[in-house]
């Protein structure tokens, strides 16, 4: 376990000391668990391949299945994507920060744990203020898959995270009980956008059309 890590509790406010503490763990190659816009996630810096490998081991994840990424702003999104189709820009402008994940063409050179079997990346700008501040303090994209080993239901509390992963997670931030629904996922890599997972954000096919 990294120095200064362990457990923390948040009341939803952005505590600068907690932001600094969590960012230091992530920059140092550690793993942070916390509630996202919906479920609890396991966070690791994209710039730390050692942390991404640990994350893959904790998740018992197949090598061809990528990790979702979080960015704090459009600059962060562009750092992990090769291009931003017009529909992606429209959806991001309407629904970010928030529980919307966009699948986009991946920037070259991203770690295998991030892109999986294909040249795409799943990314969102989270709406939770504390999470957004932590990602911004890390100054790079952060991998954030759900806090559960593959095949098990996502953890809905800090207690469940600790029960499943123990000291393998360097910092657990208790944000209360999480929602059951994950983020909504939209594929923006084809000729038209496609909803590939219904989640916390309700979208209709009409929402994916660019208005003339």
Residues 99-106, mean pLDDT to the nearest whole number: 96
What is the structure's pLDDT at 3?
44
What is the structure's pLDDT at 176?
93
CA angle at 114 for the pair 111 and 117, rounded to the nearest 5°: 95
Residues 175-203, mean pLDDT to the nearest whole number: 91
Per the CB < 8 A criterion, the answer to whether 178 and 168 are in contact is no
What is the structure's pLDDT at 211?
64
The chain-wide mean pLDDT, for the chain, equals: 91
What is the structure's pLDDT at 159?
95
Q: What is the pLDDT of residues 49-74, one digit of tens each?
A: 999 999 999 999 877 788 999 999 99
Angstrom CA distances, 117 to 16, 66, 80, 111, 112, stand at: 38, 7, 16, 11, 8
Domains of the chain and CATH, by start: 6-208 (3.90.870.10)
**6 band by pLDDT with thresholds 50, 70 and 90:** confident
Statement: residue 187 has pLDDT above 90? yes
Q: What is the pLDDT of residues 144-173, one digit of tens each?
A: 999 999 889 889 999 999 999 999 999 999
Cα–Cα distance for residue pair 144/161, rounded to 1 Å: 14
What is the structure's pLDDT at 94?
94
**205 band by pLDDT with thresholds 50, 70 and 90:** confident
**5 band by pLDDT with thresholds 50, 70 and 90:** low
Per the CB < 8 A criterion, the answer to whether 145 and 59 are in contact is yes
Using DSSP bridges, classify how beta strands 142-143 and 69-70 pair: parallel, antiparallel or unpaired: antiparallel
Asked which of 42-51, 161-170, 188-197 is least confident by mean pLDDT, the reply is 188-197
Four-residue CA torsion sign, 68, 52, 57, 149: negative
């Amino acid at each position: 376990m990294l120095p200064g890590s362990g457990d923390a509790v948040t009341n939803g406010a952005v505590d600068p000391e907690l932001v600094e503490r969590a960012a230091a763990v992530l920059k140092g190659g550690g793993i942070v668990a916390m509630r996202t816009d919906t479920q609890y996630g396991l966070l690791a810096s994209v710039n730390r391949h050692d942390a991404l490998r640990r994350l893959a081991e904790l998740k018992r994840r197949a090598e061809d299945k990528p990790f979702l990424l979080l960015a704090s702003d459009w600059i962060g999104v562009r750092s992990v994507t090769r291009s931003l189709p017009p529909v992606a820009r429209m959806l991001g402008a309407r629904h970010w920060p928030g529980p919307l994940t966009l699948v986009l063409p991946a920037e070259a050179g991203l770690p295998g744990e991030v892109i999986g079997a294909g040249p795409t990346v799943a990314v969102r700008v989270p709406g939770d203020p504390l999470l957004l501040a932590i990602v911004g303090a890390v100054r790079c994209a952060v991998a954030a898959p759900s806090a559960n080993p593959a095949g098990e239901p996502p953890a809905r509390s800090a207690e469940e995270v600790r029960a499943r992963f123990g000291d393998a997670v360097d910092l657990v931030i208790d944000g209360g009980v999480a929602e059951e629904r994950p983020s909504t996922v939209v594929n923006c890599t084809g000729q038209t956008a496609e909803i590939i997972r219904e989640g916390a954000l309700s979208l209709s096919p009409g929402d994916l059309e660019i208005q003339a």
